């Protein structure tokens, strides 16, 4: 079962910091080398002897800038960070950090080979945070319950906005952005807002375990199956009390209201007997395969793109990258596997599994960036300085 702690800061692989203190010396700058030893291994740069990493030359992007960039040779950020340092640590396996002294997120132990999984208390804290977000009115934001043309109430002097809870705001943003009729460029953003405690990190669900069992569908996490109804959650889970909002895509247009909080979450993992292809979760190999798709995205930059990492992790292409209209894999397959609220595009965030399914998708992207370099996303010579 397995929820691992993860940093969802996808951009963490970019050199976001400036320079390690040990390297910021006259000798350090003159040598062009920033390869400190881990504190526990003095005299062993990057922990090379201990097998943690090695000091290597940095290969920076050498493609020329576009014609609209007039500062060639004058900006320290060009070919970052080689103006300052041209050799840094490259860490092996699960080791991480500028000196390879740390473990990658999700790993711990002296050899960074122990999975970090949630303790009983951490599981409880996570479920409680979701529950609180579902119950607490958003302190700052309200939603419009009418189209702009009807935003003034019947008397022309009131306005049609409503309070919404923090979690429901997240559901609503997604609903608003996927809906074809509203043309809203919504962003499903929550993060810090949803989690009232800033020290809280989001875990993820490794859904690529194959088989037909939802291992996080237990009462201490996302809720077990009810013993009375295949499609419902066990009454021992707080999530059985949650009510789905924005149930019908048409409500907003036909009723002039959106969120009619009546039905519970439905979920029947592996239950879609009419569609056997979505009765199994993705396989571990599918993640390995999609990480090998080298190009971030390909024309037409849509759900029909082939050999596109973006379209592959999203699950419209086979895990190996080739587009095939009947395929549903990775992210999409994990949604459809749930056969219920979490499998319907406009409703899916109503099932809290959505959060964990997406943090894992982000974690795959994070790993792809780690392997291919953040520069891999900039495919056009005009964007070379923008990949920070
Ligand atoms: C690396 O940087 C050092 C110090 O600035 C410089 O002397 C050296 O020539 C550089 N090496 C390469 C390959 O650019
Ligand atoms: C991290 O460690 C585990 C356990 O030793 C290993 O199975 C896994 O392949 C390692 N990950 C990487 C990226 O090396
Ligand atoms: C919305 O929430 C605010 C702050 O909690 C409260 O003052 C206000 O009365 C609420 N409005 C409605 C319509 O419930
Ligand atoms: C949901 O919408 C229906 C149709 O308009 C309405 O009859 C019902 O009262 C609404 N329920 C709630 C809880 O708002
Ligand atoms: C769930 O599976 C049943 C049986 O195959 C199917 O009829 C139904 O449409 C599915 N529901 C969702 C939301 O996927």
DSSP letters along 290-358, please?
HTT---S--TT-STT-SS-HHHHHHTSB-TTS-B-TT---HHHHHHHHT-SGGGSTTTGGGSTHHHHHH
Please tell me which residue, 240 or 149, carries the higher pLDDT value: 240
Ramachandran area for residue 296 (φ above 0: left; ψ -120 to 50: alpha; else beta): alpha
Q: So what's the pLDDT on residue 213?
A: 97
Please tell me which residue, 149 or 35, carries the higher pLDDT value: 35
Please give the distance, rounded to the nearest whole angstrom, from the Cα atom of residue 83 to the centre of ligand 1. 9
pLDDT-based confidence at residue 18 (cuts at 50, 70, 90): confident
| Location of structure tokens 């030893």 | 37
The neighbour count for residue 342, using CB atoms within 10 Å, is 25
Which DSSP helix (H) or strand (E) runs through 127? helix 120-135
Q: What is the dihedral of CA 317, 318, 321, 325, to 10 degrees?
A: -40
Query: End-to-end CA distance of the chain, in Å?
Result: 35
Q: Indicate the range of 103-112, 264-273, 327-336 predicted with least confidence.
A: 103-112
Q: So what's the pLDDT on residue 60?
A: 78
- Looking at every residue in the chain, the average pLDDT score rounds to 84
Please give the distance, rounded to the nearest whole angstrom, from the Cα atom of residue 93 to the centre of ligand 2. 6
pLDDT-based confidence at residue 112 (cuts at 50, 70, 90): very high
CA distance 89 to 48: 9
Q: Is the pLDDT of residue 344 over 80?
A: yes
Q: Is the pLDDT of residue 303 over 60?
A: yes
Can you tell me the mean pLDDT for 370-382? 63
Can you tell me the mean pLDDT for 311-316? 96
Q: Which residues line ligand 2 (CB under 6 A)?
A: 93-94, 107, 113
| Location of structure tokens 């499609």 | 231
The reply to whether ligand 4 has any atom less than 6 angstroms from the CB of 248 is no
Q: Is the pLDDT of residue 61 over 80?
A: no
Q: Is the pLDDT of residue 64 over 70?
A: yes
Q: So what's the pLDDT on residue 173?
A: 83
For the segment 128-167, what is each residue's pLDDT rounded down to a tens digit?
999 999 999 999 998 887 778 888 988 999 998 889 899 9
Residues 6 or more apart in contact with residue 253 via CB below 8 angstroms: 181
pLDDT-based confidence at residue 1 (cuts at 50, 70, 90): very low
For the segment 166-200, what is each residue's pLDDT rounded down to a tens digit?
999 888 888 777 654 432 222 233 333 344 454 55
Can you tell me the mean pLDDT for 102-120? 88
50-59, 79-88, 242-251: which is most confident = 50-59
Q: Is the pLDDT of residue 57 over 90?
A: yes
Residues 6 or more apart in contact with residue 93 via CB below 8 angstroms: 112
Q: Which residues line ligand 1 (CB under 6 A)?
A: 32, 86
Please give the distance, rounded to the nearest whole angstrom, from the Cα atom of residue 109 to the centre of ligand 3. 49
Strand partners, 264: 243
CA distance 233 to 269: 11
Q: Give the phi and the psi of residue 55 in degrees, each rounded to 5.
A: -85, 120
- The three-state DSSP-derived secondary structure of 211-262 is CCCCCCCCCCCCCCECCCCCCCECCCCHHHHCECCCCCCCHHHHCCCCCCCC
Please give the distance, rounded to the nearest whole angstrom, from the Cα atom of residue 230 to the centre of ligand 5. 12
CA distance 134 to 52: 43
Q: Indicate the range of 30-34, 105-109, 359-363, 379-383 predicted with least confidence.
A: 379-383
Q: What is the number of H-type helices and E-type strands within the chain?
A: 8, 11
The reply to whether ligand 3 has any atom less than 6 angstroms from the CB of 137 is yes
Q: Is the pLDDT of residue 214 over 80?
A: yes
Instruction: Give the closest residue (by CA) to ligand 3 atom 6.
Output: 163
């Amino acid at each position: 079962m397995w929820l691992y702690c993860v940093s969802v800061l996808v951009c963490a692989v970019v050199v976001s910091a400036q320079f390690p203190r040990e390297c910021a010396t006259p000798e350090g700058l003159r040598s062009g080398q920033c390869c400190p030893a881990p504190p526990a291994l003095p005299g062993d740069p990057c922990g090379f002897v201990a097998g943690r990493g090695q000091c290597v030359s940095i290969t920076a992007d050498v493609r020329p800038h576009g014609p609209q960039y007039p500062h060639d040779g004058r900006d320290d950020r060009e070919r970052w960070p080689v103006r300052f340092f041209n050799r840094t640590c490259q860490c092996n396996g699960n080791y991480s950090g500028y000196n390879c002294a740390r473990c990658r997120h999700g790993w711990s132990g002296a050899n960074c080979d122990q999975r970090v999984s949630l303790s009983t208390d951490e599981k409880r804290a996570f479920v409680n945070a979701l529950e609180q977000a579902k119950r607490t009115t958003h302190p700052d934001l309200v939603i419009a319950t009418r189209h702009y043309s009807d935003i003034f109430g019947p008397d022309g002097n009131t306005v049609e906005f409503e309070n919404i809870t923090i979690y429901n705001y997240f559901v609503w943003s997604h609903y608003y952005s996927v809906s074809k009729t509203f043309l809203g460029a919504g962003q499903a953003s929550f993060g810090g807002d949803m989690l009232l405690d800033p020290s809280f990190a989001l875990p993820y669900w490794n859904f690529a375990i194959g088989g037909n069992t939802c291992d996080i569908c237990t009462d201490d996490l996302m809720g077990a199956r009810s013993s009375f109804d295949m499609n419902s959650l066990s009454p021992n889970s707080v999530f059985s009390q949650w009510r789905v909002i924005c149930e019908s895509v048409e409500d907003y247009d036909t009723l002039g209201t959106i969120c009619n909080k009546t039905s519970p979450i439905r979920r029947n993992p592996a239950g879609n007997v009419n569609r056997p292809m979505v009765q199994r979760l993705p396989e571990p190999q599918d993640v390995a395969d999609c990480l090998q798709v080298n190009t971030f995205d390909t024309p037409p930059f849509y759900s029909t793109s082939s050999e596109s990492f973006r379209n592959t992790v999203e699950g419209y292409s086979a895990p190996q990258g080739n587009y095939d209209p009947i395929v549903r894999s990775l992210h999409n397959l994990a949604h459809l596997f749930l056969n219920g609220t979490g499998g319907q595009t406009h409703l899916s965030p109503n099932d809290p599994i959505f959060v964990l399914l997406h943090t894992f998708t982000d974690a795959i992207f994070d790993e792809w960036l780690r392997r291919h370099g953040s520069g891999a996303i900039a495919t056009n010579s005009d964007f070379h300085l923008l990949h920070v």
